[in-house]
Amino acid sequence: MNKKIMLPILVIIVSAIAIFLIPENSSMPSSENLYQSGFTFYDVEKIQESLSEQNIFMSTPTPVTDHTIGNYCAIRDDVLSTINYCTTTAIQDPDGRSLGNISMGGTPDNPIMAIALVESSPFLDSKSNEIEIVFVSMVESLVCDCWGEKQPGGFESIPSWIDAAKTKYLESSQNIPLKSTVTGLGDETLILEITHKNDSYLWTLIILK
Model pTM greater than 0.85? no
173, pLDDT greater than 90 = no
pLDDT for res 16: 34
CA–CA dist 84, 157 (Å, integer): 34
Q: Which of 174, 149, 141, 176 is nearest to 58 (CA)?
A: 141
Note the pLDDT tens digit of each residue in 89-116: 999 999 999 999 999 999 999 999 999 9
Note the pLDDT tens digit of each residue in 2-51: 444 443 333 333 333 332 333 333 332 333 444 446 899 999 999 999 99
What is the 3-state secondary structure of 9-22?
HHHHHHHHHHHHHC
74: three-class secondary structure by DSSP: coil
Distances (CA, A) of 118 to 17, 49, 132, 167, 195: 58, 18, 10, 18, 11
1: three-class secondary structure by DSSP: coil
Q: Bridge-partner residues for 110, per DSSP?
A: 107
Phi then psi for 92, rounded to 5 degrees?
-135, 155
Query: Who contacts 60 (Cβ-Cβ below 8 Å, separation ≥6)?
Result: 89
Q: Indicate the average pLDDT of the chain.
A: 84
Segments in the chain forming alpha helices (H): 3-21, 31-35, 44-52, 69-73, 77-80, 128-142, 147-150, 158-171
112: three-class secondary structure by DSSP: strand
Domain ranges of the chain: 30-208
CA–CA dist 185, 170 (Å, integer): 26
Q: How does DSSP assign 138-161, residue by residue?
A: HHHHHT-S-HHHH-GGG-SSHHHH
